Amino acid sequence: MDANTHHRTRLPIRAKLATTVGDAAASVSRLAGKGDGSVIGGRIGLRLEPDLLSLLAAGRRVVLVTGTNGKTTTTRLITAALAPLGGQIASNIYGANMDAGAVSALSRTPDARIAVLETDEKYIPSMVKATKPRVVTLLNLSRDQMDRAAEIWLLARRWREALTAAPDCRVVANADDPLVAWSAGGSRQVTWVAAGQAWREDSWCCPNCGAHLDRDGDDWSCHECGLRRPPVSWMLYEDQVIDPSGRSTPLDLALPGRANRANAVVALAVAEAFGVRLEPALAEVRRVTSVAGRYTSVSRRGVDIRLLLAKNPAGWLEALDVLAPPPAPVLLAVNAQGPDGRDTSWLWDVDFRRLRGRTVLVGGERKLDLAVRLEADEVQFRLVNDIDEAVDAVKSGSAGLEVLANYTAFQQYRTALGRVQ
Amino acid sequence: MRPLRLVWIYPDLLSTYGDRGNVLVLERRARLRGIPVEVVEVNSDQRVPRDGDVYLMGGGEDLPQTLATRRLLADGGLHEAAERGAVVFAVCAGYQMMGVEFGGADDTPVQGLGLLDIRSGRGEQRAVGEIVADVDPGLNVGRLTGFENHQGVTRLGPGVRPLARTTIGTGNGDGTEGSYAGRVLGTYLHGPALVRNPNLADLLLFWAVGPLPPFPAPAEELANRLRAERLAAVQ
């Protein structure tokens, strides 16, 4: 009996069959070149045995990671931070973050005693119930794909209900985000992290009573109902992490940008909950250089191209901050297929004025929407039809090309550049 | 000459669907016509200025919609301005709020602002997707293109005219989209509405200042291309 079958023999027959059929389907899917197979395999498994997720999660320590932005990266960082514990860690690293993806991740690594699962915001209640997690990580909550997303305040309410009903679960939550703080407010065990909040447009008003919040820097409070920012034990301070002992350590990450520093601090707080000390956890976190193709650099006909992914106003706000400074040219690309959100109105919630005076190229299926948006912010730009046209446009310069794209546009460029790892 | 004052109402509650773009393009179209213009943003804990020329309200979620309505009723400024003849432009949740009543978070009727003779409630299905509608010929706006995203349906009373007749999409739910009375106009269109439909933006400006100085054609070339692309995409 090999290592892979050991755990599976403890599952009931139907579940075993579901896992095997699911895994076979996943392998076929991968070989046929259709993504990494995680969702298809899991879906088949769940159809055969609906409680499969609970069964697969039983006996493992599960971490769920959710939020509007940063789920995939933070899942990766937590997995790294827990590496010092030794042993395999199950994870849905390719971002298949609904129940089928979780099933695939768990059945792929049956011997992993720890699982770190990226979880779509809408699936938190069902995943908490099914996997009985040890830790749930709440990163942030803001508008995203409003044509298919549940309302933000409603999501917060569902999170709060699910977490309050899970007393054995520790919540690691961003205290600087009022919606997140309120969602975690009913939980018995909370680790509060000051991870910062750059995008505030969805949290001007109190999630508890609706009054306009008083905000002063990172501090926030409601003068009507008294809801306020809780005291924190972990903090991101510029490029340092401050841990519960009050000690400050430079993060020195390979990943760029403020948002990733915040994600790293959250990962370190989760590691502490598992008994991993800061130094070994941080050493592993520093080694993460790219996540699912993001932040990677590819060379195309002599031009160094760096790929950044952002999907909603909060994400674009952070990404615009990460861009290399001028004279590096920038290619912005936006699609509006189903997974992107079919309504491009959200572009008008992004402030593009800081791109004035730079070389900006505009691509993607919805380039005209983006063009009209940039024109309104008095940013000059050139339309391009594909990545090669963009490369042609900047070839003669010496700086690399920064590419910022939303979901399917990003995937299209990755494919065109040869599936970047 | 005092600048044209655009008032953006309660973006802390009603700006979830990109409708800030309406304020941005209205300002741009006024400015590029040589009309001095300023934008005032009013949060839900501030007094609504009574002396604005065009008031804009965007879409938002259920609970914020109810909260915003209560505060505007208590404040009274929007009503005063509308009575004075100010232009009011409201989108989606904002549009519903203009009515006599609308469905609240659990669909129980909530008292609206009463600025439009309409009543809204929860429809059977969510209306999500591109919408195309032909505007009341009397307004000389032409065809509307936009994106709708709402579960609400709206019944028009005798005190309003429909803004447009839908050819693609749902709108109010009875073959019409939006409605208006005097200088108060509401629509379900995102896109944002005034970005996709420069003629609609110009209608609001015309209501506010009368006959408009010309707009430089190159400055709307991209917007016209976008319009054409969007209309072609759904035909």
pLDDT in tens, A307-354: 999 999 999 999 999 999 999 999 999 999 999 999 999 999 999 999
* Domains of chain A, start order: 3-286 (3.40.1190.10), 297-416 (3.90.190.20)
Query: B92, B133, B163, B193: which is the annotated catalytic residue?
Result: B92
Task: Give the A window 151-170 contacts with B, CB below 8 Å.
Answer: 151-154
pLDDT recorded at residue A212: 93
What is the average per-residue pLDDT within A208-231?
A: 95
Average pLDDT, chain A: 90
What is the average per-residue pLDDT within A105-111?
A: 85
Query: B190, B191, B200, B202: which is the annotated catalytic residue?
Result: B190
CA distance B81 to B88: 9
| Percentage of residues of chain A with pLDDT beyond 70 | 87
Q: Is B92 part of the annotated catalytic residue set? A: yes
CA nearest to A368 within chain B: B226
What is the average per-residue pLDDT within A53-74?
A: 93
Contact at CB, B19 and A372, closer than 8 angstroms: no
Contact at CB, A342 and B67, closer than 8 angstroms: no
What is the average per-residue pLDDT within A239-258?
A: 97
Nearest to A372 among B128, B147, B195 (CB): B195
Contact at CB, B226 and A372, closer than 8 angstroms: yes
| pLDDT single digits (tens) A356-376 | 999 999 999 999 999 999 999
| Percentage of residues of chain B with pLDDT beyond 70 | 100
pLDDT recorded at residue A3: 44
Contact at CB, B192 and A348, closer than 8 angstroms: yes
In total, chain B counts a number of residues equal to: 235
Q: Is B9 part of the annotated catalytic residue set? A: no
pLDDT recorded at residue B112: 98
Give how many domains chain B has, as a whole number.
Answer: 1
Average pLDDT, chain B: 96
What is the average per-residue pLDDT within B183-191?
A: 98
pLDDT recorded at residue B134: 98
For the entire predicted model, the pTM comes to: 0.90
pLDDT recorded at residue B145: 98
Name, in order, each residue with C-beta under 8 angstroms of A205's C-beta and a sequence gap of 6 or more: A211, A212, A213, B12, B13, B44, B64, B67
Structure tokens at A388: 């090669």
Confidence of residue A51 (pLDDT cuts 50, 70, 90): confident
Contact at CB, A346 and B18, closer than 8 angstroms: yes
Confidence of residue A131 (pLDDT cuts 50, 70, 90): very high
When mean pLDDT is compared over A57-61, A81-85, A396-400, the highest value belongs to A81-85
CA nearest to B105 within chain A: A154
Place of tokens 């991870």: A195
CATH of the domain at B51: 3.40.50.880
SS3 state at B122: strand
How far is B119 from chain A, CA to nearest CA, in Å? 22
Q: Which domain holds residue B114?
A: 4-234
Confidence of residue A10 (pLDDT cuts 50, 70, 90): low
Q: Is A55 on the interface with B (CB under 8 A)?
A: no
How far is A245 from chain B, CA to nearest CA, in Å? 37
Which chain B residues are closer than 8 Å to A207 by Cβ?
none
Contact at CB, B21 and A373, closer than 8 angstroms: yes
Residue A176: is its pLDDT beyond 90?
yes
Confidence of residue A141 (pLDDT cuts 50, 70, 90): very high
Point out the least confidently predicted range of A45-49, A138-142, B131-135. Answer: A45-49
What is the average per-residue pLDDT within A181-195?
A: 97
Name, in order, each residue with C-beta under 8 angstroms of B188's C-beta and a sequence gap of 6 or more: B91, B92, B95, B127, B131, B146, B148, B150, B154, B170, B171, B172, B177, B178
Residue A184: is its pLDDT beyond 60?
yes
SS3 state at B42: strand
